[in-house]
Structure 1
Amino acid sequence: MPSRSGPARRGASKGRGVSSRKGGGRSPRKTLRSAGKATRGKSFSAGMPRSRFLPLLTVWFLAVLALASLLYWNGGTEKPPPKPAANKATSTGQSSVPKPRMADPPAKQPEAGPVAGSRTPSPKGGEPGGKEPGTREPARTTAPAGKPLIEPPPPFHSRDIPIDQPKEPARKPDSITLSALRPGVPPGTAPPPPSPVPAPVAKVAIVIDDFGQNLEVAKKFLSIPLPLSFAILPNQRHTAEIAELAHAHHREVLLHLPMEPQGYPKMDPGSGALLTSMSRGRLRRTLLAALDSTPYFIGVNNHMGSKFTENTPSMRVVMSELRHRKLFFLDSATTGDSVGFALAREYGIPARKRDIFLDHTLTDEAVQSQVDQLIRKAKIEGTALAIGHPHEVTLKALIEGVDRFKEENVAVVPSSELMIVPSRRVGGRD
């Protein structure tokens, strides 16, 4: 058996000495065992007290807890891809609004955004969504599925129309809205409807004879804002020119056909007049020459002709040609025995007799009196036709009569509108 070390020997000898001194009956081996146990219990309790072991255990527990916290919040060294907003809202019970990504390509279509008004928990103690405290989040709109989160700027719109409302077609404002803008009408009260403009109670037509010699006078009558009819003499210096000018101003053009008067040749009707002494062929040739002087004639009225219009055979030649050319006839009624209107009806030609001479007496008072008579006759009978001449007093009376006709509610119309059209042709022979 190997020899013991120095300390063991000393302990053994010391034990033996002790036991021998006290006179115990123990064996040396039992003495050493009991001494070893006593030594081990004393060193554990005295060398490592519990007050020093508990802090070490606490530090170790806190270290493990900190490591677990870091692993929980950071999710490891490599972050997994973010889950869709809908799944996150389902797992956490809350929803968040994803931040717009300006660099995303157009091809990528983000999923539908979460419910508006939800908040995202902040892991760092800041405001929802991971923002720093004190910063404001820009306004966001929930993007529908299939559309980019960042919408293009809206098109230009009027400031009066909200962006989120479609434009409505323009409509007339209500009368109640207009009443609020009118003085004297309380808001919310509809104003009385405007008085309707009454329809004209009568119509008049005015024919001015004897044009063809003076162009400037014709222009003055063209400046009157009334639909006057221009009766132009044939074979005059400005016959064709005045006819074309009147037609360009939308005025009706009549042939003022010279006819033989009573007292001929002392009373001269002028160049190209129709005479009772002419043969049928000569009458027709003279008439055709007058009608062909301008293409703008739509009707014929007689110049003088107090003798010719009483002659039925001569007037039949005229009526035959007017029917052929589809022109109307205005009987100037220079004689009470004229057969012109009756023969025109017989031939089925639109015709009418003159009602008023405006300027038989060349004074302002007389002409104005004739205008008043024209208005009265039109109101009584419904229509009336007047004939005047290119005199200064007639021009003045018609200029002043523009407002007068409006005040009397009498319409001035072209002469063709007042022609009497026969229902059917009564007869007539060429």
Structure 2
Amino acid sequence: MATDDLNKPLGLPRERKAHRTPLVALVAPPLLIAIGLIAFFAFGDGPDDPGNVVAAIDDTSPDQTGSVGPALTPVYEAQSEPLVEVKPTGGLREVRGNDVIISDPSKPRPIRLAAAPFEDLIEADENGLLPRIGDDGTRPLDAYARPAGATEGMKRIAIVVGGIGIEGEAGQSAIASLPGEVTLGIVPYGEDLPATVAEARALGHEILLQLPMEPYNYPDIDPGPNTLTVAGGTAKNLDRLRWLLAQTTTYVGVMNYMGARFTGDDRALAPILGDIADRGLLFLDDGSSARSRVGAFASDSAPVIRADLVLDGDTAPAAIDARIKQLVAIARERGYAVATATAFPSTIARISAFARVAEENGIALVPVSSLVRADGS
């Protein structure tokens, strides 16, 4: 718009005849407008002003990847009232008494899980905070689990993606882009595990802690510090287990990280699984070793589940898709299936693609805890 256009009366052509306007007439209107704007912003939206009514659409439903979309889209209640924007501060803040929140019932709110442990579900030792069963019998497995949602008439699939905390950008991508129903495996060696766990749980992911266990060819193949070993003996392995468990909190259970040799040895395995069960945690066998003996220790008091397959032994997208098809076939035959994977970019992409079409194909993605809690095992 040309500068002269600002001086036209609305809808009328500008007169061609030259006309001198007194300086005060030119300066006074803008000055009055500026004073009015300053007064409005200084006094018009104070906390005691009862005249401002807000309508804010609650649009916090998950998008197709499970991440949280725009929190609040403000709309005008009336043209005569100024707009007051309600901004989220990590969640919906407590609105003022004259604010109005409009929720869309067709869009369920995203599930956010707390990252602070319950006081009665932890005990302190020299290593830090360890999980325990509460005095009322509440298990960490139950207290920190993600709700499974409605699955009636659907086949259930649980997918656990591990390597979170040491996989850098891929791990962050898994947290942010995978649906909240996908359980994440946290490695106990991350630089900032509390922040990683908090971010994951804020986006609805329940957590398993990955325990380093002795593989064949150890120590040439070394899972990391405080690995549980067959030769270590019960006392040393339990000391190492306590160190590992104290590295973070709010997980529903643990899973093996490597460990083909350790999980195949009953004598080494029994005290570890016993301690884990006594703490109210589940144990997931990641399905990587055919010699694993973990399933032999399952009982009502020791929640144990074994993955049916590993999705990304071959990280090519076509190979991952083929494994997902096998997983679906297992779920359709048995009613449920479990898979594990690692936070590789191709793995994250293919799981995300599957998640977008799972429901329309009769598949419900569920957290792994729901499969061991459903029958009390």
Answer yes or no: same fold by TM over 0.5.
Answer: yes
| Matched-pair contact (CA < 8 Å) for 1:254–1:300 | yes
1:288 paired to 2:249? no
Unaligned runs of 5+ in 1: 1-196, 425-430
In the alignment, which residue of structure 1 is the partner of 2:193? 239
1:303 paired to 2:229? no
Task: Kindly report which structure 2 residues correspond to 1:122-161, keeping only aligned pairs within 5 A, or say none.
Answer: none
| Matched-pair contact (CA < 8 Å) for 2:156–2:365 | yes
Shift of 1:405: 0.6
Question: What is the alpha-carbon distance in structure 2 between the residues aligned to residue 271 and residue 241 of structure 1?
Answer: 21
| Matched-pair contact (CA < 8 Å) for 1:358–1:387 | yes
Shift of 1:394: 0.5
Q: Name the amino acid aligned to 2:189.
A: N
Cα gap change, 1:247 to 1:307, in 2 (>3 Å): same
In the alignment, which residue of structure 1 is the partner of 2:296? 342
Shift of 1:215: 4.7
In the alignment, which residue of structure 1 is the partner of 2:337? 384
Question: What is the alpha-carbon distance in structure 1 between the residues aligned to residue 298 and residue 276 of structure 2?
Answer: 9
Question: What is the alpha-carbon distance in structure 2 between the residues aligned to residue 341 and residue 420 of structure 1?
Answer: 16
Shift of 1:305: 0.6
Q: Name the amino acid aligned to 1:313.
A: R
Cα gap change, 1:372 to 1:307, in 2 (>3 Å): same
Question: What is the alpha-carbon distance in structure 2 between the residues aligned to residue 417 and residue 297 of structure 1?
Answer: 14
C-alpha offsets along residues 155-207 of structure 1, whole Å, 9 cap, x if unaligned? xxxxxxxxxxxxxxxxxxxxxxxxxxxxxxxxxxxxxxxxxx99543000000
Cα gap change, 1:279 to 1:225, in 2 (>3 Å): closer
> Which stretches of structure 1, 4 residues or more, deviate above 6 A after TM superposition?
420-424
Question: What is the alpha-carbon distance in structure 2 between the residues aligned to residue 245 and residue 361 of structure 1?
Answer: 29
Question: Which is bigger in relative contact order (C-alpha 8 A, separation at least 6)?
Answer: 2
Task: Kindly report which structure 2 residues correspond to 1:179-258, keeping only aligned pairs within 5 A, or say none.
Answer: 199-222=152-175, 223-258=177-212
Q: Name the amino acid aligned to 1:287.
A: L
Identity %, equivalent residues: 27
C-alpha offsets along residues 256-286 of structure 1, whole Å, 9 cap, x if unaligned? 1010001112221122210111122111110
Question: What is the alpha-carbon distance in structure 2 between the residues aligned to residue 329 and residue 320 of structure 1?
Answer: 10
| RMSD over equivalenced CA pairs, Å | 2.1
Shift of 1:334: 2.6
| Matched-pair contact (CA < 8 Å) for 1:274–1:283 | yes
C-alpha offsets along residues 123-173 of structure 1, whole Å, 9 cap, x if unaligned? xxxxxxxxxxxxxxxxxxxxxxxxxxxxxxxxxxxxxxxxxxxxxxxxxxx
Matched position secondary structure for 1:419: helix
C-alpha offsets along residues 10-49 of structure 1, whole Å, 9 cap, x if unaligned? xxxxxxxxxxxxxxxxxxxxxxxxxxxxxxxxxxxxxxxx
| Matched-pair contact (CA < 8 Å) for 2:287–2:309 | no
C-alpha offsets along residues 342-371 of structure 1, whole Å, 9 cap, x if unaligned? 1132x7211111112111101010001111
| Matched-pair contact (CA < 8 Å) for 1:352–1:420 | no
C-alpha offsets along residues 219-244 of structure 1, whole Å, 9 cap, x if unaligned? 32222234111111113323332222
In the alignment, which residue of structure 1 is the partner of 2:220? 266
1:415 paired to 2:368? yes
Question: What is the alpha-carbon distance in structure 2 between the residues aligned to residue 203 and residue 422 of structure 1?
Answer: 14
The correspondence for 2:230, drawn from 276, 279, 284, is 276
The correspondence for 2:272, drawn from 318, 331, 336, is 318
Task: Kindly report which structure 2 residues correspond to 1:61-210, keeping only aligned pairs within 5 A, or say none.
Answer: 199-210=152-163
In the alignment, which residue of structure 2 is the partner of 1:397? 350
| Matched-pair contact (CA < 8 Å) for 1:200–1:411 | no
Q: Name the amino acid aligned to 1:381.
A: R
Question: What is the alpha-carbon distance in structure 1 between the residues aligned to residue 179 and residue 205 of structure 2?
Answer: 11
Matched position secondary structure for 1:221: helix
Q: Name the amino acid aligned to 1:237.
A: E
C-alpha offsets along residues 64-97 of structure 1, whole Å, 9 cap, x if unaligned? xxxxxxxxxxxxxxxxxxxxxxxxxxxxxxxxxx
Matched position secondary structure for 2:161: strand
Matched position secondary structure for 2:230: coil
Q: Name the amino acid aligned to 2:160.
A: V
Shift of 1:422: 7.1
Q: Name the amino acid aligned to 2:219.
A: P
Matched position secondary structure for 2:329: helix
| Matched-pair contact (CA < 8 Å) for 1:226–1:412 | no
Q: Name the amino acid aligned to 1:394.
A: T
In the alignment, which residue of structure 2 is the partner of 1:357? 310
| Matched-pair contact (CA < 8 Å) for 1:257–1:300 | yes
Q: Name the amino acid aligned to 2:313.
A: H
Question: What is the alpha-carbon distance in structure 1 between the residues aligned to residue 328 and residue 361 of structure 2?
Answer: 8
Shift of 1:310: 1.1
Matched position secondary structure for 2:364: strand
Unaligned runs of 5+ in 2: 1-149
Question: What is the alpha-carbon distance in structure 1 between the residues aligned to residue 274 and residue 254 of structure 2?
Answer: 13
